Amino acid sequence: MTDPHRATGVLLTNLGTPAAPTPQALRRYLAEFLWDHRVVELPRPLWWLVLNGVILWIRPRRSAAAYQRIWTQQGSPLLTISQQQAARLAERLNEQHSSQFKVALGMRYGQPSIESAYAELETAGCERILVLPLYPQYSAATTASTYDALGAVLRKRRVMPHLRLLRDYHDHPDYISALAASIREYWQQHGRGERLLISFHGIPKRYAERGDPYPIQCERTAQALAKHLDLASEEWQLVFQSRFGPQPWLEPYTDRTLEHLARNGVKRVDLVCPGFAADCLETLEENDMLNHERFLAAGGNEFHYIPCLNDRPDHIDALGEIIKENLAGWL
């Protein structure tokens, strides 16, 4: 029987990051990331040739240069922020529940791995584990891939824990409220633009056509956020970023939308990324740098990137409430 005095484990996961902003480190990271069949759904022999014969010879150097633009003295922003989130979430949970929780951080690709995070919970004696992927909107390429990685870890174990998997929290009231509060605070400090772009990471259209609920959940998040902010339909727009390869991805595209708005007289745009729990390459380099430059080059005057929720207290509180709701009967 489960010992009620043992800690409950929370396995907090995110996508991951290279170990360093170098071509060598990016080659290792991209080889793991892009070989995941959930990320690239192409026949393995064909994709192996493309990946190893072309992409891993070209992309690592380009990606390393991008990471160098955002790398800090502490290392990767995504890893640093994720570690802060895990530490503050553990503090919050244990303040409210008398030290019943152990929180471990695992990345789907790179280090610390999901296996090392699971081993940390295992060593702490956690017989009950909640898995919380920090992807508010579900996609097979992210959340399901996390489940795959955890399954590979569990296949090596004889003793299984009591396990709960959190699929998504795209419309949770506390998550939406934290997003809205962060935007309002930014507007109070920096003024407000003519248009708020709500930008999510894209996926290939054919993934959605095969039943992936990701675009529907992105739309629900964006609509709930706009409603919470009392925005009229012409004051905000849902867009998708970070497309890769020649195939069609979810539209409208963030970069093309920015150019269109600038060329049609919009002088200031604000952009927020609710699908990212922590700032990373796609928010800091792609949006706050590249898309910023793109908007100005097309004729815009001001581009304002509103940071992710990161380790804001209201974000940690929202995650704590989500965990509490999903541990009904365990606490």
| Low pLDDT (below 70) residues in the chain | 1-5
Q: Whole-number mean pLDDT of the chain?
A: 96
**Per-residue pLDDT at 7:** 87
Tokens of 149: 């990685």
**Per-residue pLDDT at 68:** 98
CB distance 136 to 221 below 8 Å? yes
**Per-residue pLDDT at 15:** 98
CB distance 164 to 130 below 8 Å? yes
**Per-residue pLDDT at 187:** 98
- What 25-31 contacts at long range (C-beta under 8 Å, 24+ apart), as own/partner pairs, is 25/64, 26/59, 26/60, 26/61, 26/63, 26/64, 26/67, 27/56, 27/60, 29/109, 29/110, 30/55, 30/56, 30/59, 30/60, 30/63, 31/56
Residue type, 193: G
Rounded distance between C-alpha atoms, residue 150 and residue 130, angstroms: 12
Residue reference for tokens 């004696």? 125
Tokens of 97: 């529940």
Give me the domains of the chain, ranges plus CATH numbers. Answer: 18-70 (no CATH), 173-306 (3.40.50.1400)
User: Residue 317 burial (CB < 10 Å; 0-12/13-18/19+)?
Assistant: middle
Residue reference for tokens 């709960």? 164
Q: What is the pLDDT of residues 150-185, one digit of tens each?
A: 999 999 999 999 999 999 999 999 999 999 999 999
282 annotated as a binding-site residue: yes
Residue reference for tokens 């920090």? 134
pTM of the entire predicted model: 0.96
Rounded distance between C-alpha atoms, residue 290 and residue 189, angstroms: 23
**Per-residue pLDDT at 97:** 78
Secondary structure in 3-state letters for the chain: CCCCCCCEEEEEEEEECCCCCCHHHHHHHHHHHHHCCCCCCCCHHHHHHHHHHHHHHHHHHHHHHHHHHHCECCECHHHHHHHHHHHHHHHHHHHHHCCCEEEEEEEEECCCEHHHHHHHHHHCCCCEEEEEECCCCCCHHHHHHHHHHHHHHHCCCCCCCEEEECCCCCCCHHHHHHHHHHHHHHHHHHCCCCEEEEEEECCEHHHHHCCCCHHHHHHHHHHHHHHHCCCCHHHEEEEEECCCCCCCECCCEHHHHHHHHHHCCCCEEEEECCCCCCCCHHHHHHHHHHHHHHHHHCCCCEEEEECCCCCCHHHHHHHHHHHHHHCCCCC
